[in-house]
Amino acid sequence: MNDVFLAPLDLQPHEQGYYRHPTVSGDRVVFVSEDDLWEVPLSGGFARRLSGSRGQVSNPAFSPCGQWLAYTATDEGRPEVYVMRARGGPARKLTFNGASRASVVGWSPDSERVLFSSNLRESFTRQLGLYEVPRQGGATLRLPLGGAQGLSFEPSGPGRVLARHADDLARWKRYRGGTAGVLWIDRQGDDQWERLLPEITAGLCRPLWRAGRIYFISDYQGHGNLYSCLPSGDDLQRHTDHLGHYVRFASADLQTIVYTVAGELYRFDLATGEEHRIEVDYASPRTHLNRRFVDAEEFLDDFSLHPRGHSLALTTRGKAFNMGAWEGAVRQTGREQGVRYRLARYLNDGERLLMVSDEGGEERFEIHTADGSRPAQPVDTGDFAIGRPVDLVISPVADVALFANHRHQLVHLDLGTGACRVIDRSEYARIQGISFSPDGRFAAYGFFTHFSTAQIKLAELESGALHEITPGEFQDVQPAFDPAGRYLYFLSYRHFDPVYDQLFFELSFPRGMKPCVVTLQADADSLFLQKPRPLSGDDGDDDEESASEDATGDETPETGTAQGDGEDASASSETAASEASTTDDDAPNASDDEGPEPIRIDLEGIAKRVEVFPVRDGNYGDLAATEERVFWTVYPVLGALSGGDQDEAPGVLRYFGLKSQKQKTFARGVSTFEIGPDHKTIALWGEEGLQVVSASAESAGDEDDDEPSRESGYIDLGRLSVQVDPLQEWHQMLREAWRLMRDHFWREDMGGVSWDEIWQRYSGLLPRVSSRSEFSDLVWTMQGELGTSHAYEIGGDYPRQPQYSPGFLGASLRWDPDWRLSEEPERFEGAYRIERILRGDTWDAAHSSPLARPGLNISEGDVVLAINARPVHAQQSVEERLVNQAGQYIELVVAAGDGQSAPRRVTTRALRSEAELRYREWVNLNRTRVHEATGGQIGYVHIPDMGPAGYAEFHRHYLSENGRKGLIVDVRHNGGGHVSQLILEKLARRQVGFDLQRWGKPMAYPAESVAGPLVALTNEHAGSDGDIFSHTFKLMKLGPLLGKRTWGGVVGIWPRHALVDGSVTTQPEFSFWFEDVGFAVENWGTEPDVEVELPPQADLKGDDPQLQKAIETALHMLEAAPVQLPNFEPYPDLRAPTTLPPRDNTK
C-alpha cells in the first residue's frame, strides 16, 4: 500500500476540511467539503473526492440498498437532484424543476425514488414540501404531506416520521419561536399523523427511525445534541454531550448515525450507544483558495479626487489604489491582502492619503503616501475608539479631518496629534452630511433632532461652540459651503404638495424635497436677486467672459460678501483642463501658502435668511457646489415594485447657475458624484462607469461616447489589478462581520453572550474553510450564537455557474402511461396529462398560464406529446424539455384527453417563473371559498409580506372586499417588512356615519371601513412585521386571531454594511417591545386566540382547517351582531314656516 495511506493522522487545521452533510452506508461515509462529494471509511482514513461539480453540492444520501448516491447540486444554476453509483462515476441529473430551493432528504424504502424538499409547486417561496423523482428519471411528484423538510421510514414497517420547519438548528441557536422544528408521526402508515413530543418547544429536526426509536437533533437543553425517544414519545434520552458547537446534519443507515460538529465528522453506534470522531486524512489541492483577480468596477466602493483634480483615490474589494485619471501607472497602497481599507481621501498636499484600515482587527485611521514610498502611519487616537466611520471629510487648510460614525457622533480628528474630540451627537440618527467652510474654521452638518426632523448646525471648530442654522422644524440635511464663503446650501424636506391617490382616498408627499440656501452675511443680497446687466454679458451660463471679467477686477466681490453675479469666477472649462494637465507638481501654489481669507458668518437671524431654490420639488440626493454653480442629483419617483431599489436608481445630475439663475442638466444616469477640492473638477459614478470632467463644462459630455479617454472623461478601471487571496480575505470578512455585530447589536452586553469567546471559537475554524459556501456557513453559525432573529449573511462573490433557466407552463401535469391516440394507438405510448391549468390573472401574461392564452383552446384533461418537436415520455419529462426555455416561444404538440382527435401544434411563450402564478391561484381559491361559504357576506384579503408587495396585495383586494359585511385578513406566511402600522390603521377604521345621496347607496364614513367583524389568520410562518401585525391586531382588539403561534422574530435590521465581496451581514439593531408582554414576542411569537393546527393529512384531503375556522368564526360574529344600514329617519324638513309667531312689541 502507498505510504500516504499508512501515515499517522497528525494534520494541522489548515490541512483539514470543513465537513458537512455526511451520509453512511455500511463502512463508507460520504460527506461534502469544498462544494464536492468526498468518501472516507467509517473507521477513518484517507478521503477521496467523488465529484467535480461546477456548482455547490449538498445533502448526499445513500440509497437503502447501498448502490446509489443521490445529492443536490447547482451545476446549471438552480439546485437540482442528481444521482450516481455509490462508488462514484458519472452523475445523472434527475430533476429539471428550476425551483429556487431543493434539497435531497432521502430515498423511498425500495431505493427506486429519491425524496427531496423543495418550494417547486408551493404557493409561497418560503414554504417547502416533499417531492419524489424516479431514480431512472421522469416526472417529479409532490407528496401530499403539506409543509415538510424531512421524512424517515420505519425499517421493515409501515411507520413514518415527518419533520417540519427546520433542518439545521445551528443558524439560530436556542430558537423557540413558531417555526421551531416539529415532528409528526404516522405510526401505522395510514395517514393518521400526530405530533411527536408536542410538549417540547425547542427545535426538533433530522428524524431517523432506527432500532425501534426515533432519533433526532434538538437543543431543548441549550445545546444541539443527538436525542431519541420511543415512537410513543416516551423514554426521551440524550446521546451526546457537545457544548458550544451543535450536532448537525444527522444521517443514518441501520447501524450507524453520522453527523458533524464544528466541521468534523462523528459516528454514533446504534448498538453500543458510543460516539467517535471520524479521523479524516484529507489531502486536497484546495483550488478554491487559489489567488484570482476580480473586476475593479464590480466591487468599487468609494472614490475621491486629488486636490488638483488630475488623479483619483479609489477603494475596491477593500483595497486602496490611487492613479492618474487617464495617464500613468496605478499604485496600490497598504497591505496587499487581509486588510480592508475604506474612505480613502487625499490630504491637501496631494502626496498623502487618509483612510480607514482594519489592520489588527479593529478599525483605525492611517496616513499613506500616495507613491507608497513609506510605510503606512497609523493615527494614534489614544483611548478614543473611533467606531465605524461612515463619512470622512478633510479640512481645506490643515491636517484635520471630521468624521461621522455609527454612534451618531461627529468627531474632530487632529492628524498631527491623533486627538479626537466629539463635536456633537444625535440621539436619533447618523450625521447626515458634513462640510468644512472654505477657511476651515467652521463645519456645517445635518443633525437629526427627532426621528423625522433634522436641522443644519454649525460648529466653530476652535472653540467647539455649536449654533443652529435651521430650527429643526423640517428635515434639513446635506449642507455644502459655497467655496467663496457667501452661502451655505442644503437639501430640505419642507415642500408639502400632496398628491391624490388614484385608487383610495389618500394623499401623500412623494416629492417633498427642495434645495435651499442660507446667506451667511446679514448685509449680503439674496442669491436670487437679479441685477441689471448689459445684453452682451448675458450669454446664458458659465461663459468665458465672466471669468475674464472677474479676473480684471471690475466685478470682483469682496471676500466674504455675496454678490451672485460673478459666475465662473475661477476658470473656463478649457482653462481648468489645461491647469489639470500641464503640471506634474502636486505641491500647492505659492499663493496658497497664505491660506484663504477668513469668512464672516452672521449668526443673528440666520434662520430667517433661508431661501428655497426656484426649482421643482423632487427626490434629491447629493448636493455640492463650485463658486458659480450648485450641483444636485434628482431621482425619479418610482413605484416601489416596478422601480426596484429607489436608493440604487440612477438619477439626473443638474446644476443651478448663480448668474443665469437657471437649472440645466449636466449628466444622466448618475448614482453619486463629488466635486474635487479644487472646486473645478467633478467625478461622477453612473450607469456608464466612473467619469471625471470639468465642473464648468456645459455637460458631462457626449452620452454616446463612453470610451475611456481625457476627452470623454471616462476612467478605465480595467487598469486596476485587484488580486484576491480568498483565505486571507475571508479572515478579514469574518472579523468584520464579528465586529459589526459587536458594534451594532441592540444590546451593548450582547445579551450576556461572551462575544470575544465566540470570536475565538469560530475564527479557529477558519483555516478549515475552503469554499465561499463554507465561509457563509461559518458566518451564519457564528452569528447564530446570539440566539436572536435577523442575523443573516446575504450574497457574496461565489463561483459563477451556467444559468440554464427553465421555462414553465403554469400547469400541473402527470404522466399517463395508458393514453393512446385512437386512430394510431401505436404512435404514442403515454402522454403527460394536464391535470390543472393555473389561471391566475388571465389579463396579465406574466401571471397566468401560457396554456390559458386566447385561441389555444387547451383544456384540463388534454395531453402534451412533444415540445419544440422533441417528444416527451416517462423518463423524459416536460420539465426536461423546457430547460433553457425561460421566456422563450415554444411549440407544443397537444391532443384531446380522450385521444379521439388528431394532435395539433400550438405556440405560446413559457414563463420565467410560476411562483407568483401559484400564489395568485392560492389566493383566488381562498377568496372563492370564503365567498361561497358565506354567501358573499365575508371578504378575504391575504398579505404575503409587510413590504411594498404585501402593501400592494392588501390594497388590490381590499378595494373590493372592504364593502362586504365582514373581512378575513390572512397573514399566514407573511414575510415581514415595515408597513404593518399602515395596514392596521386602515383596518381599525370604524363606521360612525354615512353620506347619503339621491341616486346611489349611502357611503360609509370613514371611507373604506369594514362594517362588521374582522377575523385575522396567522401561522408559524408569519414573521417579523408579520409577528408585529398579529400581536398588534390582538392588542387593538380588532377581532379574534386564529391559527398558529407566529415566527417570533422582532429585532429589526438595517442592511447597509457590505463586506468586501459584496455580501451583507445583518445585525439585530431594533428590538420591539409591547406594552403587554415586553420583549417576549422575540424568540417565541404571538399566540393566537384560537389555535388551529394544519396536520399533514389535511393536505391529502385538500382541506384548510384554519381558513374553515376563520369562516365559521366570522359567520358566528356576524350572526351575533348583524350588519345593516341604520334607520336614517327622521329626515330633515327643509320647508320654510307657513306662519310667523306673534310680535312682541313690548320689548
Tell me the pLDDT tens digit for each residue of 208-225: 999 999 999 999 999 999
> Does residue 676 have a pLDDT over 50?
yes
Are 132 and 141 within 8 A, CB to CB? yes
Name, in order, each residue with C-beta under 8 angstroms of 721's C-beta and a sequence gap of 6 or more.
293, 330, 332
Q: What is the pLDDT of residue 504?
A: 93
- Maximum pairwise Cα distance, the chain: 136
**Cis peptide before 1013, with omega less than 30 degrees from 0?**
no
The mean pLDDT value for 815-832 works out to 92
Tally of CB atoms within 10 A around 460? 16
Distance CA 504, CA 951 (A): 13
Distance CA 149, CA 205 (A): 9
The mean pLDDT value for 1122-1143 works out to 93
pTM of the entire predicted model: 0.93
Tell me the pLDDT tens digit for each residue of 24-70: 999 999 999 999 999 999 999 999 999 998 999 999 999 999 999 99
> Does residue 700 have a pLDDT over 80?
yes
Tell me the pLDDT tens digit for each residue of 174-208: 999 999 999 999 999 999 999 999 999 999 999 99
> Does residue 918 have a pLDDT over 50?
yes
Q: What is the pLDDT of residue 590?
A: 40
The mean pLDDT value for 494-511 works out to 93
Helix, strand, or coil (residue 350): coil
Tell me the pLDDT tens digit for each residue of 888-906: 999 999 999 999 999 999 9
Tell me the pLDDT tens digit for each residue of 1071-1103: 999 999 999 999 999 999 999 999 999 998 899
Are 163 and 205 within 8 A, CB to CB? yes
Q: What is the pLDDT of residue 914?
A: 94
Tell me the pLDDT tens digit for each residue of 996-1055: 999 999 999 999 999 999 999 999 999 999 999 999 999 999 999 999 999 999 999 999
What are the backbone angles phi and psi of residue 924, rounded to the nearest 5°?
-60, -40
Q: What is the pLDDT of residue 539?
A: 45
Are 1043 and 971 within 8 A, CB to CB? no
Distance CA 543, CA 546 (A): 6
Q: What is the pLDDT of residue 846?
A: 86
Mark whether 790 is an active-site residue. yes
Residue 264 belongs to what H/E stretch? strand 264-269
Confidence of residue 3 (pLDDT cuts 50, 70, 90): very low
Q: What is the DSSP letter of 336?
A: S
Q: What is the pLDDT of residue 531?
A: 82
> Does residue 587 have a pLDDT over 70?
no
Mark whether 1024 is an active-site residue. yes
The catalytic position among 688, 921, 1082, 1087 is 1082
> Does residue 360 have a pLDDT over 80?
yes
> Does residue 283 have a pLDDT over 50?
yes
Distance CA 679, CA 570 (A): 9
Domains belonging to the chain, first-starting first, are 51-144 (2.40.10), 300-702+714-722 (2.130.10.10), 811-911 (2.30.42.10), 916-1050+1085-1120 (3.90.226.10)
Of 184, 189, 186, 234, whose CA–CA distance to 204 is shortest? Answer: 184
Would strands 280-281 and 45-46 be described as parallel, antiparallel, or unpaired? parallel
E-assigned strands of 439-575? 442-448, 454-460, 466-468, 475-481, 487-493, 499-500, 507-508, 513-519
The mean pLDDT value for 235-241 works out to 98
Of 608, 616, 610, whose CA–CA distance to 514 is shortest? Answer: 616
Distance CA 1109, CA 901 (A): 46
Tell me the pLDDT tens digit for each residue of 426-467: 999 999 999 999 999 999 999 999 999 999 999 999 999 999
Helix, strand, or coil (residue 963): coil
Q: What is the pLDDT of residue 557?
A: 36
The mean pLDDT value for 77-93 works out to 96
The mean pLDDT value for 73-91 works out to 96
The mean pLDDT value for 873-884 works out to 94
Distance CA 78, CA 97 (A): 8
Q: What is the pLDDT of residue 645?
A: 55
What percent of the chain stands above pLDDT 70? 93
Distance CA 1058, CA 1069 (A): 16
Confidence of residue 589 (pLDDT cuts 50, 70, 90): very low
> Does residue 564 have a pLDDT over 80?
no
Q: What is the pLDDT of residue 701?
A: 86
The catalytic position among 660, 1024, 1030, 1063 is 1024
Mark whether 1082 is an active-site residue. yes
**Cis peptide before 817, with omega less than 30 degrees from 0?**
no
- Torsion angle, alpha carbons of 659, 661, 662, 664, to 10: 50
Confidence of residue 658 (pLDDT cuts 50, 70, 90): very high
> Does residue 729 have a pLDDT over 80?
yes
> Does residue 152 have a pLDDT over 80?
yes
Q: What is the pLDDT of residue 53?
A: 86
Tally of CB atoms within 10 A around 910? 21
Confidence of residue 642 (pLDDT cuts 50, 70, 90): confident
Q: What is the pLDDT of residue 1144?
A: 82
The catalytic position among 790, 955, 1021, 1057 is 790
**Mean pLDDT for all residues in the chain:** 92
